[in-house]
Structure 1
Amino acid sequence: MSLITIFNKKIKATINSKGAELFSLHDGKREYIWEGNPKFWGKHSPILFPIVGTLKNNSYLYNGESYKLSRHGFARDLEFQVLSKTSDGVRFTLVSDKKTFIDYPFDFVLQIEYQLFDAELKITYQVINNGNKKLPFSIGGHPAFALPKKFEDYSLEFETDETINRYILKDDLISNEVETVILENKKLPLTYSLFQKDAMIIKQMHSKEIELLENNIPFLKFSFADFPNFGIWTKDRAPFICLEPWVGFSDTSESTGNFFEKEGIQVLESKSKKEYSFSITIL
């Protein structure tokens, strides 16, 4: 495990090689990433791969065999290697091996790139299928942003004034219960009551940018054009908010267990690759 720092004249980011996890984003005045206090939640910005969320019975079927995968997959707990580094950018890689084959019998290369552009940190996930069979996967981000003031001083401003259909989790699985959340002039005031039923899960969200506001003043922009689904989450009384761009989501209680039939799953053909990017801009 090692901490790697990249920087430019505007901002500095620190990433842990374990999980290729963003630990810090700072502009010289303010820390934007949650500190990871285990009293509330001991992570900062884990990568979700090869699944997002929870599988029914924490398992799936492939070629008649049953395999186990814990919530959000294993990438966040593994050591990544540094593939390349400059002063303002770094690329990490994780390659399938005998250990990952136990729970996920597929050849893959997962590369994570962090690159600074002025006051923007761009994060790119690249999934590569080096194997001879199709690769099923989901992937997502889970960055937690520090909120040092009173939680109710913060709000989210969406790109569009959309009506949000929120899918309710039950036993960590997506239920048939859907709640409608009405924005107020594109804004969602943050309250802990929003998260009494766990994360807000939004499928096929129209907005592709969200601004985080402190006392109605925007201080951070989150852009995620490559991701169709979105999660918003915190824990009760915790001073952070997670903005989570996802390709995929948890199973439903009706899931068959067949990995290739899983709603939201991506299937990558042999010898092909796919990229997904999101960015954090300090305003």
Structure 2
Amino acid sequence: MFTCYAKQDQFETYVLASEDRQIYIEVVPERGCIISKYMYNNESIFYLEQETLEDLSKNIRGGNPILFPISSYLVDETYYYKDTAYQLKQHGFARNLVGQVIHTSADDNSASITLEMVDNEETLIRYPFHFKLIMQYTLNENGLSIQATIHNMDDKVMPFYLGYHPYFYVADKENLALQVPSSTYKEMIPNSIVEDKFNFNQDESNVIYDQLQSNSCEMIDHTRQLKVTITSEDVYQYIVLWALQGKPFVCIEPWMAPVNGMNVGQGIQLLEANQSHTSTIQIKAESLI
């Protein structure tokens, strides 16, 4: 049996949980519809710096921020649409939007919540399109499904590329194995890969993989005897790894496009007027014992 209910913390928060609360997530609509917490058998799957969730002036460090209408960054924070320059900050603005809950459900097998974010006067200055972004989160015994449906509510073609920025909790990086299905990568910070392994032993490491050979990445936490599998659809052509030394997390990020995608023309989805685009990723946690 699964349940879905709302509670009032600093922000209204929705909880999707199994009856014994061995598996649950928390969703904060007001903070970019973020999944702020994901627990499995009393183990944290997501990392969260609570103070960044509570401070509206900060980007949240933790959970699973939604990257829309772009993932990564643009050179000089600038792109062009029909010869007009627009400015977008790194990872877009969805993580700063206020969402609305439009549906919840729960039964013996799963719990689900559907949320909506829409354009406003501020977004139109930076991204001249009317849109709806519908997020549906479904939790069941097999893990967490994250589905995004983007509706172009405008009368012109709308370019975008979606991504996610999940922060996975890991206290013992020395006992962590990461499996990304590609041997082709670019270091965004030098020495991010050392002896074919992601380098946790410098202040910051950041690498982007392309030419993915499959749709699944794995994080194996040998200390906690825990495996997390991230599965995405083919439209997510890139996987990014990012970590900071001294912080108990690693980010494994599915992106549709590379750095500066809007300007280099790779991975961009061109959504026709009054059309929609749906894609899904899944995150599954399981015990190795």
CA separation in 1, counterparts of 2:199 and 2:175? Answer: 9
Task: Name which of structure 1's ranges 216-225 and 80-89 shifts more when overlaid on structure 2.
Answer: 216-225
| Shift of residue 133, structure 1, vs aligned partner | 0.4
Matches within 5 A, 1:105-254: 105-148=128-171, 150-158=172-180, 162=182, 164-169=183-188, 188=197, 191-193=199-201, 198-215=205-222, 217-226=225-234, 227-251=236-260
- Higher RCO (C-alpha under 8 Å, 6+ residues apart): 1
Preserved CA contact (<8 Å) 1:89 1:115: yes
Q: Distance in 2 between matches of 1:120 and 1:109?
A: 26
Quote the offset at 1:42 in angstroms.
Answer: 2.7
Partner SS state of residue 199, structure 1: strand
Q: Which secondary structure does the structure 2 equivalent of 1:57 belong to?
A: helix
Residue 229 of structure 1: how far off its partner (Å): 0.9
Structure 2 Cα separation of the partners of residues 117 and 181 of structure 1: 37
Contact 1:50/1:139, CA 8 A, preserved across alignment? yes
**C-alpha distance in structure 2 between counterparts of 1:197 and 1:147, whole Å:** 16
**What residue number does 1:267 align with?**
270
Structure 1 Cα separation of the partners of residues 44 and 270 of structure 2: 37
Counterpart position of 1:174: none
How far did residue 72 of structure 1 move? Answer: 0.4
Rounded to whole Å, the distance in 1 between the matches of 2:263 and 2:156 is 12
Maintained 8 Å contact 1:231/1:245: yes
Look up the match of 2:47: 34
Deviation at 1:13, TM superposition (A): 0.7
Q: Secondary structure at the match of 1:132?
A: coil
- Residue of 40, 61, 68 corresponding to 1:49: 68
Q: Which runs of 4+ in 1 moved over 4 A?
A: 177-183
Aligned-pair identity (%): 24
**Deviation of residue 191 (structure 1)?**
3.8
Q: Distance in 2 between matches of 1:152 and 1:230?
A: 21
Please report how far the alpha carbon of residue 248 of structure 1 lies from its aligned counterpart in structure 2 after TM superposition.
Answer: 1.2
CA shift in 2, pair 1:156/1:261, >3 Å:
closer
Q: List runs of 5+ in structure 1 lacking aligned partners.
A: 171-176, 253-258
Gap change, CA 1:169 and 1:282, over 3 Å in 2: closer
TM-score, length-scaled by structure 1: 0.83
1:22 matched to which residue of 2?
35
Q: Is the 8 A contact 2:178 2:218 kept in 1?
A: yes
1:173 is matched with which residue? none
Number of aligned positions between the proteins: 260
Superposition deviation, residue 261 in structure 1: 5.6
User: Could you tell me whether the CA contact under 8 Å between 2:204 and 2:243 is conserved in 1?
Assistant: no
Q: TM-score, normalised by structure 2?
A: 0.81
After TM superposition, the structure 1 stretch with the greater mean CA deviation from structure 2, 93-102 or 75-84, is: 93-102
Residues 125 and 204 of structure 1, relative CA distance in 2, 3 Å threshold: farther
Q: How far is 1:27 from its partner?
A: 2.6
* Deviation for aligned residue 1:45: 1.5
1:89 aligns with 2:89: no
CA contact (8 A) 1:166 1:180 kept: no
Q: Distance in 1 between matches of 2:185 and 2:44?
A: 30
Question: Over the residues paired in the alignment, what is the CA RMSD in angstroms?
Answer: 2.6
The alpha carbon displacement at 1:230 in A equals 0.8
Q: How does 1:6-21 map to 2 (within 5 A)?
A: 6-9=16-19, 10-17=22-29, 18-21=31-34
What are structure 2's unaligned runs of at least 5 residues? Answer: 1-10, 53-59
